Amino acid sequence: QVQLVESGGGLVQAGGSLRLSCAASGSIFSINVMGWYRQAPGKEREFVSAISRGGSTYYEDSVKGRFTISRDNAKMTVNLQMNSLKPEDTAVYYCAARGGSAASPYERAYEYWGQGTQVTVSS
């Protein structure tokens, strides 16, 4: 089993920055892709970004150029640097991981999930 724990959420003004982190523990050898999803109030959870073990990155269109995903394979952590934040970025952000080697935007492709961390962007 794999456990994922997110940190770094909070309240920030529009235009500000936050850095989310996610640490994996347990059977981390089984992890290939790590990613981030978010769920805004009243909306379905949506893909934000993912990174493969080799460092290939993928972003949802609305965050391209503003968010940067990175990972440390030795520590099995994944980070999401969020800049130029907008009120519409307000959501609970979830860390996710999967054993498959291909990054995927599809929620059902990810076997492991964190509990989520709240990000609130005020206007």
Dump pLDDT digits (tens) for 25-35: 998 888 999 99
pLDDT at 64: 97
Question: What pLDDT sits at residue 24?
Answer: 96
User: Which residues of the chain are under the pLDDT cut of 50?
Assistant: none
DSSP, residue by residue, the chain: -EEEEEE--EEEETT--EEEEEEEEESGGG--EEEEEEE-TTS--EEEEEE-TT--EEE-GGGTTTEEEEEETTTTEEEEEE-S--GGG-EEEEEEEESSSS--S-GGG--EE---EEEEEE-
pLDDT of residue 45: 96
pLDDT value at residue 104: 84
Say which residues have a Cβ less than 8 Å from residue 7's Cβ, sequence separation at least 6: 20, 21, 22, 23, 117
Q: What pLDDT score was predicted for residue 80?
A: 98
